[in-house]
Amino acid sequence: MLTGYIIEKYSCMTGAYTCNRLVEEAGRRNVDLRIIGIADVTVDRPEGAEPEKADDCCVTGNAAGYAVYHKGQPLKPCDFVINRYKYGHIKDAIGRLAKCTYNDTDAFNAYINKYIQVCNLRSEAFYMPKFLLGTALTAFSRVAEQLGVPFVAKGLESSQGAEVFLISGEEDFRALGKQYPTDKEYLFEEYIGSSYGRDIRFYSIRGEVIACMTREAVSGFKANVALGAGVREYPIDDHIRQASKDIYAQTGLDFLGIDLLFGRDKPYFCEINVMPGIEGMERATGVNVAGAILDTILGDYT
């Protein structure tokens, strides 16, 4: 029997649709899949264990004699890990217990960051909005000159619509420095008015699109399901297929939620999500996304 862990914030994720669907589909395939919350995990170096080399002193995982404990008990090695938590070293330590991690740890850690995304990703299937990296201390006039007004400000590692703002004037811009530390970095992006309150989200498995939907905001410009956006199935066209293939070729990320904004002749890139939820996608399209994820993982061991 294959064994695996889902890394999440808490071990008890009773209301988490994506985690529970993955566990459900794993059970149907005779896979032992457990949710491991980083809140219940510690990483320790047992007495007498020494790093193999000096560089390993900075490693927070079992590779250099470190042990991972879940609720005080040693966490056993497993066949695979599905990472659904963004931050810190504990998730990486859990990942080192597995033969395979989904997504790959290095690529996952890199492409959490929205600035890395816009710097590295390109495709003939979409336009890349103009962008700047800056802080609330950046001169508003500088950003406005480069991007126009309004423009969008995004926290670099935010999700579910958090830390995303439409900046309509200098007062909105100054509010960033009041709400967050003034040295917090933001990705400032050109505002795509043709996509106000709506976008395209598709689910990609190794460059192949398995489901696609549109998300439409109830109000405002953020079309996140977590914020109550409505969803409906959307046809998979050539732009979407090509964007999926190109992004997989450039990142190597197995499982991705990819967001595009509506443009005139082709879409604009919005962002990729390395740990996308699947509730809206399954509801909108009827596609068994959780099952497709598990079947892909099982295929790696067949």
Same domain for 200 and 177: no
Domain boundary among 148, 169, 191: 191
Q: How far apart are CA 186 and CA 264, in angstroms?
A: 27
Is residue 76 domain-resident?
A: yes
Q: How far apart are CA 225 and CA 170, in angstroms?
A: 29
CA angle 142–144–146, rounded 5-degree value:
70
Is residue 109 domain-resident?
A: no
**β-pair partners for 2:** none
Number of domain units in the chain: 3
Alpha carbon 44 to its chain centroid, in Å, reads 28
Q: What is the pLDDT of residue 227?
A: 61
- How are the residues of the chain apportioned to helix, strand and coil, as percentages rounded to the nearest 5? 35, 30, 35
Give the CATH number of the domain where residue 169 resides.
Answer: 3.30.1490.20
Give the CATH number of the domain where residue 47 resides.
Answer: 3.40.50
- Please report, in tens digits, the pLDDT of each residue of the chain (302 residues total): 999 999 999 999 888 999 999 999 999 999 999 999 999 999 997 665 555 554 443 444 455 568 999 999 999 999 999 999 999 999 999 999 999 999 999 999 999 999 999 999 999 999 999 999 999 999 999 999 999 999 999 999 987 778 899 999 999 999 999 999 999 999 999 999 999 889 999 999 999 999 999 999 876 666 666 666 788 999 999 999 999 999 999 999 999 999 999 999 999 999 999 999 999 999 999 999 999 999 999 999 98
Please provide the size of the chain in residues. 302
Q: CA–CA distance from 230 to each of 216, 223, 267 (Å)? A: 5, 8, 20
- Tell which residue, 298, 299, 292, 295, has the closest CA to residue 276: 292
Q: What is the pLDDT of residue 60?
A: 41
Is residue 282 domain-resident?
A: yes
Q: Where are the alpha helices (DSSP H) in 10-113?
A: 17-28, 90-95, 105-111
Is residue 299 domain-resident?
A: no
Give the CATH number of the domain where residue 219 resides.
Answer: 3.30.470.20
* Residue range(s) defining the domain that contains residue 236: 196-288
By the 8 A CB rule, do 126 and 269 touch? yes
Same domain for 170 and 202: no
Domain boundary among 191, 210, 234: 191
The structure's pTM equals 0.90
Q: How far apart are CA 8 and CA 11, in angstroms?
A: 7
